[in-house]
Chains A and B, each alone.
Chain A
């Protein structure tokens, strides 16, 4: 499903480096999210945005920041990467409304050495 596109798909970086993960969508959804997935744990919400001017912290926002450049673009930054940020990162979108499911990209696998 190319409606939600994440770049890069894989990234290896060193401790202390700043890194940005990008997400773009063609679904026309206002709401965008960044999740992190670790083995044995459920997806955990890092940040979410209900529109271009609205940014909210999720469950695990420490060490991360986001930017909503446009309705279709939502990027996640790790200011100073550390090894325990090694994980699979997913961007998702949804329509407004409580019945709206999440539409995920195919993820970015990030390794911090």
Chain B
């Protein structure tokens, strides 16, 4: 069956360091991959999208890589800040609609001042 896995353990890092979150998937060939941020008591908020033919995408302090051979995406936050503390969700999308979107359970990130 199709599966998407994110590290279930929380990631604790010091302010200023780079946070790296991992998303692995199996039995799936996504057209593209999305990353969302979710704060407690709130809905997920879209951050970045990367297509299957792109290796890397950047947006301000965020960087996403997508390796379709390894079936893995890495999400990096450089110069992390306490305000970056949240849960980050990876989502795989195939086709033309949300009905083919599969979400990972998310990784909780804590950035300590």
Contacts from A to B (Cβ < 8 Å):
1, 4, 31, 33, 35, 40-45, 48, 50, 56, 58, 90, 92, 94, 96-107
Asked whether, in the complex, the Cβ of B105 is within 8 Å of the Cβ of A41, the reply is yes
Q: Which of A40, A42, A105 contacts B43 (CB 8 A)?
A: A105
For A90, list chain B residues within 8 Å (CB): 43-44
How many B residues touch the partner, as a band?
20 to 34
For A1, list chain B residues within 8 Å (CB): 43, 45
Asked whether, in the complex, the Cβ of A102 is within 8 Å of the Cβ of B98, the reply is yes
Q: In this assembly, does B85 line the interface, its C-beta being within 8 Å of a C-beta of chain A? A: no
Q: Which of B46, B95, B96 contacts A102 (CB 8 A)?
A: B46
Asked whether, in the complex, the Cβ of A98 is within 8 Å of the Cβ of B43, the reply is no
* Interface-central residue, B46, B89, B97, by most chain A CB under 10 Å: B97
